[in-house]
């Protein structure tokens, strides 16, 4: 048996069959788990399924979402524009650091790994932040940083998250 099969069927005591140097494992030896919280009614192909998907999006203001969709950033890739909308929806229009709902002109989409280094516009490399938090991540002037910190009144956990993003941008910890 290969190492993968040995690992997969560890503890299995039934008889295994070998034909031309290949091990066959009976179907009843397969392990499985019950998928919890799975609903068969959620589906892209039926009206009911689509309605169920769209009802979960009701937490986001429709006017805000339509504004974001209409006002794409022209000098960025299609991937970036699509992924920033998706990330905004996934975060329910809230700042990843502060957790507050953001207005039309109060949010920025930040590259976790700077774009000029990675050229990565993927969904996993983007994060939605409050405008002031985004400034705080990129600022280098200590006086301006202190002013922003004083006005934001961040918790230690929030500062820790900001520092992780600052380090990715090759800035000093605050």
The model's pLDDT over 78-110, given as tens digits with 9 standing for 90+, comes to 999 999 999 998 898 899 999 999 988 899 999
Query: 0.75 exceeded by the pTM?
Result: no
pLDDT in tens, 149-165: 999 999 999 999 999 99
Joined tokens for residue 33: 């788990």
How confident is the model at residue 96, as a pLDDT?
A: 96
Q: How confident is the model at residue 121 (pLDDT cuts 50, 70, 90)?
A: very high
pLDDT in tens, 18-66: 888 887 777 777 777 777 777 788 888 889 888 887 777 666 778 888 8
d(CA 130, CA 103): 9
Task: Domain ranges for the chain, please list them.
Answer: 55-168
Rg of the chain over Cα atoms, rounded to whole angstroms, equals 24
pLDDT of 147 higher than 90: yes
Question: How many Cβ atoms are within 10 Å of 67's Cβ, its own excluded?
Answer: 12
Query: What pLDDT does residue 65 have?
Result: 86
**pLDDT surpasses 70 at 72:** yes
């Amino acid at each position: 048996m290969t190492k993968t099969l040995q690992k997969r069927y560890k503890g299995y005591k039934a008889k295994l069959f070998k034909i031309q140097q290949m091990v066959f494992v009976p179907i009843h030896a397969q392990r499985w788990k019950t998928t919890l919280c799975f609903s068969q009614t959620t589906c892209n192909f039926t009206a009911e399924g689509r309605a169920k998907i769209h009802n979960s999006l009701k937490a986001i203001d429709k006017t805000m979402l339509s504004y974001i969709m209409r006002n794409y950033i022209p000098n960025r890739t299609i991937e970036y524009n699509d992924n920033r909308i998706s990330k905004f929806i996934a975060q329910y229009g809230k700042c990843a650091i502060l957790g507050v709902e953001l207005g039309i002109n109060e949010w920025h989409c930040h590259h976790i790994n700077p774009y000029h280094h990675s050229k990565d516009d993927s969904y996993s490399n983007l994060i939605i932040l409050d405008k002031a938090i985004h400034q705080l991540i990129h600022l280098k002037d200590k006086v301006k940083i202190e002013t922003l910190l004083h006005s934001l009144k961040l918790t230690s956990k929030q500062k820790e998250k900001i520092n992780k993003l600052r380090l990715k941008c090759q800035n000093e910890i605050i």
